[in-house]
Amino acid sequence: MSEEILINVTPVETRVALVENGMLQEAYVERTSRKGIVGNIFKGKVARVLPGMEAAFVDIGLERAAFIHASDVLPVNGDDNGEPSDGPRTVPDIRTLLREGQSLVVQVTKDPIGTKGARLTTQLSIPSRYLVFMPGVHHVGISQRIEDEDERTRLKKTLETAIGEQEHCAGGFIIRTAAEGVSDADILADMAYLQRLNQSIIDRIEHVRAPAIVYQDLPLFIRTIRDLIRPQTEKVRIDSRESHQKVMEFVREFVSEFESKVEYYPGERPIFDLYSVEDEIQKALSRKVQLKSGGYVIIDQTEAMTTIDINTGAFVGHRNLEETIFKTNLEAARAISRQLRLRNLGGIIIIDFIDMDDPEHQRQVHRMLEKMLERDHAKTKITGVSELGLVEMTRKRTTESLGQILCEPCPICDGRGFLKTGETVCYEVFREILRVNRAYEAESYLVMASQKVVDRLLDEEADNVADLETFIGKSIRFQVEPFYSQEQYDVVLL
């Protein structure tokens, strides 16, 4: 599998495209005016404790107060030694953990999304290329994606030996997937870097007053190198000379083995025109995803969950209905896994595959979805096919989806996706005239509305207008307001 990373940097925003086999798989956008804050560490102040929700609001200097649940607050009595627990964890009373006005060092785990403030934790984690450092924790973990047992043992032993040789280690580590096959020297260099960084954070915490930021994660174009570049990555192309220089400094210091893969792109053709990235981003904002066979997938993102529906569309198959449905569902499973990554959809996701009678077909479609999701950088959890024929899954959500970053709710339909018909608005106008006529005295009425509504009132509804005039004994005039939406109207007393 060939893989390329394209980085488009402008003064107002940075965009990153992950392309696999010539097809866009993931897109990231960071705007200068509205940067994501996931991973940032703040010294905040507890603004309000909510015993009924076992949570608290914390002022970290943002427009909206951030939210922290009791389960995300490390106990202040030191009983928790940071070791992973197999049993269910009891959530203590939030009032025993926090009080209003208290200073608190927290890290953002979720960006503010919609009307919700940022989500916080006191369980800090500081990532680098190969490791994640966790202050106050006393164990070494390892990514489940590293499957080779010998390699897992080697990496864990290297780190545990280095920790044992230190008089005092201020925290534990998680070994990231990128560490697979990396030399002991590089792992230890990463470890030393993280400990130096942690000490600088501690020093800053002691000298700033809440609310204040004490650690800010790397900008998107450097995070991309830290988190996305892998041995199978063929090229990383950057269209900004200044950003390319900064990336090269980072690469030489932390991932020198990838130095030859990073290049400056000076081409006249915009970098996102390569592999039709711009077109694919535009398609990712649509509800409908067309499948090559002729079938299609409908994706609807709501506040509570994302629902995905599959239809055969124009695909009629060749053998029988069951085979047609099976092939459509298989193709949809591949397309859905890509769309989840590309659109960065998170939370609860419900997939309504076309009903399959054959249990073997259900198993193969489910396995295909699982296999494709293995390439997802976000953590996913998937259930089997339910009695209703639905597949339920979750995908970890830490930042806004692509649609939430690039779009806003339609001011005309208020995000519903539908408008009242001209007929419906006309009948609302009739009811409003009757209501106003009962409440006020007027010689006549003027209805101001959109062109489509006025045209209908003067044409298809002309008889009904005449009957209404006779009933109330007053004349009704109409005026087109070109800036009114289809649902807007006013009844003016004359």
Residue 82 has pLDDT above 60, yes or no: no
Pull the structure tokens for residue 87.
């049993």
Q: Where in the chain is the domain with CATH 3.40.1260.20?
A: 422-493
The average confidence (pLDDT) of the chain is 90
Average pLDDT over residues 345-355: 94
Residue 78 has pLDDT above 50, yes or no: no
Q: What is the largest CA-CA distance in the chain?
A: 97
Burial of 71 (0-12, 13-18, 19+ CB in 10 A): middle
Residue 251 has pLDDT above 80, yes or no: yes
Residue 89 has pLDDT above 90, yes or no: no
Residue 80 has pLDDT above 80, yes or no: no
Q: For residue 111, give the 3-state DSSP assignment.
A: coil
Q: For residue 339, give the 3-state DSSP assignment.
A: helix
Cα(100)–Cα(367) distance, rounded to whole angstroms?
50
Task: Locate all alpha helices (DSSP H) within 47-165, ordered by sequence.
Answer: 94-97, 149-164
Cα(195)–Cα(355) distance, rounded to whole angstroms?
54
Q: What is the pLDDT of residue 317?
A: 64
Counting residues of the chain whose pLDDT is more than 70, the rounded percentage is 96
Burial of 297 (0-12, 13-18, 19+ CB in 10 A): buried
- The tokens 């970098």 sit on which residue? 271
Strands 66-69 and 55-59: antiparallel
Cα(471)–Cα(366) distance, rounded to whole angstroms?
64
**E strand intervals along 10-158:** 13-20, 23-31, 41-50, 55-59, 66-69, 103-110, 119-121, 126-127, 131-135, 140-142
Answer yes or no: are the C-beta atoms of 366 and 380 closer than 8 Å.
Answer: no
Answer yes or no: are the C-beta atoms of 307 and 350 closer than 8 Å.
Answer: yes
pLDDT tens digits, one per residue of 431-478: 999 999 999 989 999 999 999 999 999 999 999 999 999 999 999 999
For the entire predicted model, the pTM comes to 0.82
Q: What is the pLDDT of residue 170?
A: 77
pLDDT tens digits, one per residue of 306-324: 999 999 887 766 677 888 8
Q: What is the pLDDT of residue 137?
A: 84
Q: What is the pLDDT of residue 318?
A: 66
Q: Quick one: pLDDT band at residue 116, thresholds 50, 70, 90?
A: confident
Answer yes or no: are the C-beta atoms of 477 and 447 closer than 8 Å.
Answer: yes
Q: Any idea which architecture 422-493 has in CATH?
A: 3-Layer(aba) Sandwich (3.40)
Residue 88 has pLDDT above 70, yes or no: no
Residue 42 has pLDDT above 90, yes or no: yes
pLDDT tens digits, one per residue of 172-200: 999 998 888 888 988 998 898 999 899 99
Q: What is the pLDDT of residue 48?
A: 93
Answer yes or no: are the C-beta atoms of 247 and 9 closer than 8 Å.
Answer: no
User: For domain 41-84+91-215, which CATH number applies: 1.20.140.10, 3.30.465.10, 1.25.40.10, 2.40.50.140?
Assistant: 2.40.50.140
Pull the structure tokens for residue 127.
């990532």
When mean pLDDT is compared over 191-200, 383-392, 418-427, the highest value belongs to 418-427
Average pLDDT over residues 333-340: 95
Q: Quick one: pLDDT band at residue 77, thresholds 50, 70, 90?
A: very low
Q: What is the pLDDT of residue 484?
A: 94
Q: Where in the chain is the domain with CATH 2.40.50.140?
A: 41-84+91-215
What number does CATH give the domain 287-402?
3.40.630
Q: What is the pLDDT of residue 25?
A: 95
Cα(178)–Cα(175) distance, rounded to whole angstroms?
8
User: For domain 3-35+219-279, which CATH number applies: 3.40.50.300, 1.20.1050.10, 3.30.420.60, 2.70.210.12?
Assistant: 3.30.420.60
Q: Where in the chain is the domain with CATH 3.30.420.60?
A: 3-35+219-279
Pull the structure tokens for residue 414.
């208020």
Q: Closest by alpha carbon to 60, among 110, 97, 128, 127?
A: 110
Name the least confident of 88-102, 144-158, 275-289. Answer: 88-102
pLDDT tens digits, one per residue of 279-297: 999 999 999 999 998 889 9
* Residue 114 CB neighbours (<10 A): 8
